Amino acid sequence: MAVQHKRLGQHGVFVSNICLGTMNFGWHTDETESFKIMDRALELGINFFDTADVYGWGGEHGDTEAIIGRWFAQGGGRREATVLATKVFNPVRREANLREYNTDNRGLSAYKIRKHCEGSLKRLQTDWIDLYQMHHIDRECPWDETWQAFGSLIDQGKVVYVGSSNFAGWDIATACQEASKRGLMGLASEQSIYHLNNRMVELEVIPACRHYGLGLIPWSPLDGGLLGGALEKLESGRRKGENFEKQVEANRGKLEKYETLCREIGHPPGEVALAWLLHNPIVTAPIIGPRTLAQLDSAVRATEIVLDDETQQKLDAIFPGPGGEAPNAYAW
């Protein structure tokens, strides 16, 4: 298997070209299996792990970070071998904590960033976060305040790089310009939804990432499972659910062509979808969310797939995207 390491955008740190997403830990995947997946990821060369303070849908917010923290606590160099990314913005409600308005709501105030960073560090059982990401844009909080908070955490050695997630292209530009005014490095990465069936970031987010040197970290690379062989799974009964069935029916025409093409080239649909992202030089690492070891191994196999020009053209015909970058996609 061919996991490779590349710079996070134009920054010095090297990360694996597959990012281990942990959202399912403690929800669909119990702690024992989560530990096995993380150990296996390191064995395969995956050093880039992504989580968030809000993850823990099976219990309470922060549970996923706590699972990772207990895995780190086993020692064996696990923390030192991992480039760890987590996020701040969303509510983090814990049973042991009294209700508090800032914690219980969304935002990027200096108060919240400092408080949530301390909570993440404690749950993760680490002294530092390698990539601290804003989980969403907060356009009501002034950048003076937000960057002051991140700058303080960097000065204290608690944060190394700052990233964004779900930012518009102009939000990326604004954040980077405001950071530059303060002598700060600015954003290292942007985490956006990006897959064959949703290519809207090609309009303005990808050009902004390229201009400012950000790495792009696509989330939901299989479109919630639609690009992972949805038709076959639905017909065989391996995947059910009213919402999933509605999504399949809404996209059936494209999925039939897509899964036929995947059979023709001899690769599973989920692996082809990941390979398509990996062929884009702006992409640092798509985030995978394996529930099992088998799903992890399947995702890594995608790194070995070579999609020739003809195949990529066929994929573009099935999933045409917005027509390129702005403004050429809609003007001249």
Helices 169-181 and 143-155, axial angle in degrees (round to 10) = 60
Question: Considering the chain, what percentage of its residues have pLDDT values greater than 70?
Answer: 100
- The tens digit of pLDDT for each residue in 35-80 reads 999 999 999 999 999 999 999 877 888 899 999 999 999 999 999 9
pLDDT at res. 102: 79
- The tens digit of pLDDT for each residue in 88-97 reads 998 887 777 7
Of 21-25, 123-127, 243-247, 316-320, where does mean pLDDT reach its minimum?
Answer: 243-247
Sequence length of the chain is 332
Query: 132: helix, coil or strand?
Result: strand
pLDDT at res. 62: 85
**Which residues, in sequence order, are bridge partners of residue 48?**
19, 83
* Cis, bond preceding 327 (omega within 30 deg of 0): yes
Question: Considering the chain, what percentage of its residues have pLDDT values greater than 90?
Answer: 88
Identity of residue 49: F
Query: 197: helix, coil or strand?
Result: coil
- The tens digit of pLDDT for each residue in 258-269 reads 999 999 999 999
Which residues carry out catalysis? 55
pLDDT at res. 1: 54
- Domains by residue range for the chain, with CATH: 5-227+269-308 (3.20.20.100)
Alpha helices in the chain (DSSP H): 31-44, 63-72, 110-124, 143-155, 169-181, 205-212, 230-236, 242-250, 252-265, 269-278, 293-301, 309-318
Cβ neighbors of 167 (< 8 A, separation 6 or more) are 134, 137, 175, 190, 192, 205
The DSSP output letter for 195 is B
Best CA proximity match to 284, nearest among 8, 47, 4, 13: 8
- The tens digit of pLDDT for each residue in 172-215 reads 999 999 999 999 999 999 999 999 999 999 999 999 999 999 99
Cβ neighbors of 316 (< 8 A, separation 6 or more) are none
- The tens digit of pLDDT for each residue in 138-182 reads 999 999 999 999 999 999 999 999 999 999 999 999 999 999 999
Q: What is the mean pLDDT of residues 266-290?
A: 97
pLDDT at res. 85: 98
Q: What is the mean pLDDT of residues 268-283?
A: 97
What phi-psi label fits residue 130: left (phi over 0), alpha (psi between -120 and 50 degrees) or beta? alpha
